Amino acid sequence: MKNVFLTLFGMLLYLPLTAQVVHQIDFDRFTVYNIKDWIVYGPANEITSIDIGQVDAYIGTRKGGILRYDLFSGKWKYPFTTGSGLRSNHILSVVYDYKEDRVYALTPKGIDVYNEAFDYWEAAQNDLLPRKRHPTNEELQYYYANGGYNYPPFYRPSNSELPDFFTNRDYIYRLEGEIIDRDNNVFQLTDRVTDQFRRIWVGTNGIGVGIGDLNTLNLKIMRRSVPDVLLRDVLFDGSNLWSGGAGNPDNQSGIGFWNRNKDVWQYYRAGYNLDIYNDNVRVIEKFKGKIYFGTAGCLLVFNKEKELWKSLVQHDGLQSEVINDLYVFDNKLFIATETGFNWIDASGIGINSPKNKILNGLEIFKFASLDTLLLLATKSGVYTFYPKTQEIARFNIRAALPDHHITAIKRNKNELWIAGLTGIISYNIKKNLWQSYVDIRQYVNGEIRDIVFTKGHIWFATENGLLEYDRNSDYWYLYTKRDGLPSNNLFHIDKYKGELWLSGSGGITVFRHKRLEKLEE
């Protein structure tokens, strides 16, 4: 009888397993989504093609879709990408057809056309691009007779016809179509075309688009892109945005800073700044007026007030130079590494280590917190750390799933959500109730990396897409490339003004989930 009682008591510790079905898109996406529901900011500094429309300049890029610039307001609009309906973000040629008042894009997957009436892109019926607009014979004759730089609208001068442009101190223009940046990298001009306002638009093979004033001969270079990296994280600092990630095989890693008030991008890279030891960024956090970057080779610190960089390594006290997470708790910045954890206190001086060495050598993936204690997600389950006493203990997960290799953990009021290689677990702290979602692994077999909460919804950044749980209807849905993501490989989710900002392969994806939730109500 005693054994039966113990068995029943043990069963009460677990909530019975329930089957979960994860739904995916089975509809035409633009019957549900608007063109602004998915906005993608991808690597867009390699320009392949430029054309001038009635209102906008259209700039095709190799990885970031089509950039758009309002010719009259002088402001950039959100880009056209796969999130807008394009079949690829690799634009081979962009053409504005004045006769039809339509925009065409040639991609490796075919020709797409922008349907202005329905406000989305679709595959074109014709397999031939329209001819780009050119000056009239009279305009060309006038230009040939007068010479100089009086290019007619829509003229595409050769390199030998271009003036010796003036640039700002960050660039040097050389005749024959070369631009040198302040790090002595040499870039070539790609496409070019003049507009109706005595300006010439020039593309480059790595530093964005340039606008040349044919009256003053000033050339302004404008970079319009996140770094060309496997984007791992973004951080909002006020309205400004930091971004960073790991290098792809054909490019460098790096850090991007988007001043959204001035709409200007800046970039920071190891090798060009001697104070930056490593720029292979995994996570970004702000603490006490400084921006911290956890990288694969150091803890990188940017002092905003002094505009100085500093790299901290094992010699400075880090358990490891490979950093997985940064988390602010108890007026401290905690640092998760591949061989333990550290923290920096409010003074910002020195790196601290726990007195108890039990977790030394164990990889820490993520942090979360419960009131006065810190939670550490590891390969061996979840541990607790009390900052005041520095006591470390195993967190007893009473769920019907093995609690090993925990890769994501997050608290939301009275709930704790935990994700790992075996599935997803939720814990109602107030009711002391556990729930296991083991069937999720049938649909999401990759790594679950981040968790974020909105009203009535839990979101998971995964290797297979954006997973959503609608608690009100007990409904699971997996958003993928078919919905509007440039890639299913996601790392972090950030909330900003009712939007989800997703970091992953292909850049930043802004998902306007709030509008869809209103449609459901």
Here the CATH number for the domain that contains residue 80 is 2.40.10
Q: Residue 518: its pLDDT value, please?
A: 60
The number of beta carbons lying within 10 Å of the beta carbon of residue 222 is: 18
Whether residues 144 and 204 share a domain: the answer is yes
Q: Residue 4: its pLDDT value, please?
A: 29
- Take residue 387 and report the two structure tokens written for it: 């900052």
Is there a domain that residue 64 lies in?
yes
Is there a domain that residue 154 lies in?
yes
Q: How are the residues of the chain apportioned to helix, strand and coil, as percentages rounded to the nearest 5?
A: 10, 45, 45
Is there a domain that residue 163 lies in?
yes
pLDDT band at 126 (very low <50, low <70, confident <90, very high): confident
Whole-angstrom Cα distance, residue 367 to residue 469? 21
Whether residues 150 and 88 share a domain: the answer is no
Is there a domain that residue 55 lies in?
yes
Whole-angstrom Cα distance, residue 202 to residue 219? 9
Range of the domain at 119: 43-123
Q: Residue 211: its pLDDT value, please?
A: 97
Percent of the chain, pLDDT > 90?
A: 82
Number of domains in the chain: 2
Q: Tell which of 59, 92, 123 closes a domain.
A: 123
pLDDT band at 13 (very low <50, low <70, confident <90, very high): very low
Q: Residue 438: its pLDDT value, please?
A: 85
Contact 229, 105 (CB under 8 A): no
Residues 6 or more apart whose CB falls under 8 angstroms from that of 89 comprise 40, 42, 61, 63, 64, 65, 81, 82, 486, 506
Whether residues 119 and 142 share a domain: the answer is no
- The mean per-residue pLDDT over the stretch 36-47 comes to 96
User: 403 pLDDT exceeds 90?
Assistant: no
The number of beta carbons lying within 10 Å of the beta carbon of residue 10 is: 10
